[in-house]
Amino acid sequence: MKINLVMAVFLGWLASAQAQPTNSLPLWPEGAPGALGKEAKDIPTLTPYLPDPAKATGAAIVICPGGGYGGLALHEGDHYARFLNEYGIAGFVLKYRLGPGGYRHPAMLQDAARAVRTVRANAGEWKLDPKRIGIMGSSAGGHLASTLVTHFDAGKPDAADPIERQSSRPDLGILCYAVISMGEMGHGGSRNNLLGKAPSPELIRELSNELHVTKETPPCFIWHTFEDKGVRIENSLQFAEAMQRAGVPFDLHVYQKGGHGMGLGTTQWNPEKRHPWTRDCIFWLQVQGFAK
């Protein structure tokens, strides 16, 4: 199914407006760092989707929906979480702050890091293994996920907030037709929303994540399609190449068919029309000990 990036963002906004999760948790109950107000756009949240206890593996994945850092696509959030639940994995959909709300880097990275810390800090309550917490993202959400797998920290052991004592390092990453670079091969709209219209060369380099892979980067499942007209395939190829140089395990899949923003294979919830990436990803997650 072909769908251009603008349409994907529009569908994401529309779906988000129609679906209001009732069990979302604010990442910072007292207000996010750098918050510009107290409206919904200023409050990053995490929405848990827990699997049937009979299937649960104890693994969890934080999910960063795509949308060009200008919106959040439901089919790359809720749909992914429900898909992961089928295989015993808890999904946590992140609503992170966005460019149109007046936010720029590092607000988005702060939200993603806090999401991983929150899941890890509450692993006992949710019956999770704190050493099996991954992150997943599509398009610009994939950029956010790739930013965290290359820009994590160990936490602050002396922090008053117990959540801030936790490491923000994901135990694995899943990058779906991801924006990786903020340079020429990146996506201009995502760059403008994340960094503004005139970012410095230093900032562009800092957020071009193919340049920051190290041996400490966690294993990743990376996939793209030949037909993608929204985000260049070089983003995935160069990130995989950087992982190879660093000696970090990864799965790289380039499929001939499939357009940008397709999620599980269609923007509608239809298990009968899933793209083969879903099958390959679950096999990889089984190898990592995340899925049944």
pLDDT 10s digits, 155-181: 999 999 999 999 999 999 999 999 999
- ∠ at Cα 241 (236, 247), nearest 5°? 125
Q: How far apart are CA 107 and CA 41, in angstroms?
A: 12
Asked if 60 and 37 touch (Cβ cutoff 8 Å), the reply is no
Q: Are 164 and 182 in contact (CB under 8 A)?
A: no
**DSSP states along 27-42:** SSTT--TT---SSGGG
Residue 268: count other Cβ atoms within 10 Å of its Cβ. Answer: 13
Compute the distance between CA of residue 202 and CA of residue 21 in angstroms, rounded to an integer. Answer: 38
Q: pTM for the complete prediction? A: 0.92
Token pair 């990146």 is at which residue? Answer: 186
How high is the pLDDT of residue 21? 57
Q: How far apart are the first and last CA of the chain?
A: 29
Q: CATH for 5-287?
A: 3.40.50.1820
Q: In angstroms, rounded to a whole number, what is the distance separating the alpha carbons of residues 255 and 257?
A: 6
Place of tokens 């991801």: 178
What is the pLDDT at residue 167?
A: 98
* Pairwise CA distance, residues 207 & 225, whole Å: 23
**DSSP designation for 106:** T
Predicted confidence (pLDDT) per residue in 223-274, tens digit: 999 999 999 999 999 999 999 999 999 999 999 998 899 999 977 778 888 9
Query: CA triplet 256, 92, 29: central angle to 5 degrees?
Result: 140
**Which pLDDT belongs to residue 66?**
97
Stated as kind and residue range, the H or E segment containing 255 is strand 250-255
Distance CA 222, CA 277 (A): 10
Residue 131's pLDDT is: 98
- Mean pLDDT per 10-residue section of the chain, whose length is 292 residues: 42 41 89 97 98 97 97 96 98 98 98 98 98 98 98 97 98 98 90 96 98 98 95 97 98 94 85 92 98 91
